[in-house]
Structure 1
């Protein structure tokens, strides 16, 4: 056997994602580079590690066992690195965070200062849908989760980070709908929703239900970015978190439409299982957030104040 740490890391990511494409994205490598290293790793074993069924990649039973061993080996390598830093008096270890898709516009600003203070900390941040975030939390796969709606079935502790404001937005060139949406004509406008289970979807549906607005034309998409692109293309209107559309509003490609009952206000919550035993890194991060969150909000998100806080 003559495999390298790089090959082990690549096989680990491929096995976790069951996808060369997703592994390459997380590793910031090209797909051909990942494929070549995966093949080089496979060539050292007489039994297949993966198989493709219906154009989807799966681990074989042997591959699953190798994946467990690879995970153990890499954890030992990381532990060696952390111990070296700890003996030098530095905070070291992994910080694992699972973030709902719209949270990717928030969480990095609460991490950058901490990571600068502690270069020995390795960050693992997974951006995914709400159900996967809650699953990671429940399975103790992460230290923290960032959500706007707390899971009712779990006993969790939380730190409120900042408010999340959702507005009705549309392109100046919406196709075949009211150019100035109001509560009276919103039922005639095509509306673009996130998928079922999304906190943004729930907030939008509650707004419409409370005002007894029946949707005549509904479009459903599975990511915040997909919704944004559809709205930009003029396919319809949507109620979206302001945090993810700042730049396209500034350029005029999207317009905020003031309306009574908007913005919808929720909170971004840094959440963890109440029974969680913090590592030194997780403990340090929670203390950092408590001490610095107001300063981060004032310096990074003051632009929120440019938009109406309520419509009477």
Structure 2
């Protein structure tokens, strides 16, 4: 047998996703290239690794065994690379971060220089809602979490990064008169909510209750991007973090509704369990944030700090 590490990686990913197309997307390879490598890998075994039933791909029992072995081999290779880098004086290893979906506009800027300076550090960043992020932290599935509201039940440490400001947002054609009662202005509006577990949804619900705004029509979407596109299409209105809509505001596709009591303000915080035994990579990233966060905010988010509605 003469299979390569590249073929092992490809088959492992196909076995995980049960799809050549999805595997090619995640590996940043063309579908034909992945199909060819899968064919070449299969030809080295006398027993089928997979089968196609209808249009679906199924991994055989033998294929599952090979995929598990491939995962072990690839992990060992990765460990060898990390150890080699460490002996050469480089920082090496994995950094796992879980972030709330609004933070995808923030976290990459705090990672950028750290990643460039440490080429042997691999980053995994899960982007989801607050509930799932906190669960990931509780289950020790990540080194750090980036959230806009601090979980009260967890014993954590944190680094405060920057403000998060939320406004009522509507499409360019939405008619709104500041002097009128917001209860009357929003009477027939369709309110677009994030899914349950989202911190943005919770903030919006609290604001509506506090201001006695009745919601007669609602829509629920599972990402900020989906909410943004729905508002641009004039489907409805929502409370959104301004950090993710700069371009749309500048182009006039969205408008901020000047409502008393807004913006709602929180802070993005990078948090970790106080009892967490941090890796060298995690400690290095924490030091990077403490040393450089103000410079990053000044250079990357100057516009955000000056915005006022």
TM over 0.5: yes
Task: Summarize the Cα distance change of 1:96–1:180 in structure 2 as closer, same or farther, 3 Å threshold.
Answer: same
Shift of 1:258: 1.6
Give unpaired runs (5+ residues) of structure 1: none
Shift of 1:135: 3.4
Task: Summarize the Cα distance change of 1:216–1:117 in structure 2 as closer, same or farther, 3 Å threshold.
Answer: same
Shift of 1:233: 0.7
Q: Does 1:285 align with 2:285?
A: yes
Q: Secondary structure at the match of 1:265?
A: strand
Task: Summarize the Cα distance change of 1:183–1:33 in structure 2 as closer, same or farther, 3 Å threshold.
Answer: farther
Match of residue 183 from structure 1: 182
Inter-partner Cα distance in structure 1 for 2:267 and 2:18 = 33
Task: Summarize the Cα distance change of 1:31–1:206 in structure 2 as closer, same or farther, 3 Å threshold.
Answer: farther
Match of residue 219 from structure 2: 219
Inter-partner Cα distance in structure 1 for 2:18 and 2:160 = 34
Choose 234-243 or 26-35, whichever is displaced more: 26-35
Pairing of 1:226-245 with structure 2 (within 5 A):
226-245=226-245
Q: Secondary structure at the match of 1:278?
A: coil
TM-score, structure 2 length as denominator? 0.86
Q: Does 1:304 align with 2:304?
A: yes
RMSD of the alignment, in Å?
2.7
Shift of 1:89: 1.4
Shift of 1:215: 0.7
Pairing of 1:133-282 with structure 2 (within 5 A):
133-174=133-174, 178-180=175-177, 183-184=182-183, 185-282=185-282
Match of residue 101 from structure 2: 101
What do the CA deviations read for 1:239-258 (whole angstroms, capped 9, x no partner)?
11111111111111111112
Give unpaired runs (5+ residues) of structure 2: none
Inter-partner Cα distance in structure 2 for 1:16 and 1:273 = 30
Contact 1:50/1:63 (<8 A) preserved: no
Shift of 1:160: 1.8
Match of residue 116 from structure 1: 116
Inter-partner Cα distance in structure 2 for 1:153 and 1:39 = 51
Match of residue 80 from structure 2: 80
Inter-partner Cα distance in structure 2 for 1:18 and 1:155 = 39
Q: Which has the larger radius of gyration?
A: 2
What do the CA deviations read for 1:49-86 (whole angstroms, capped 9, x no partner)?
58879x88776665554444333222211122122222
Contact 1:190/1:218 (<8 A) preserved: yes
Inter-partner Cα distance in structure 2 for 1:130 and 1:19 = 29
Inter-partner Cα distance in structure 1 for 2:246 and 2:23 = 29
Contact 2:129/2:199 (<8 A) preserved: no
Contact 1:49/1:63 (<8 A) preserved: yes
Contact 2:48/2:60 (<8 A) preserved: no
Contact 1:172/1:179 (<8 A) preserved: no
Contact 1:200/1:240 (<8 A) preserved: yes
Contact 1:15/1:67 (<8 A) preserved: yes
Inter-partner Cα distance in structure 1 for 2:52 and 2:131 = 27
TM-score, structure 1 length as denominator? 0.86
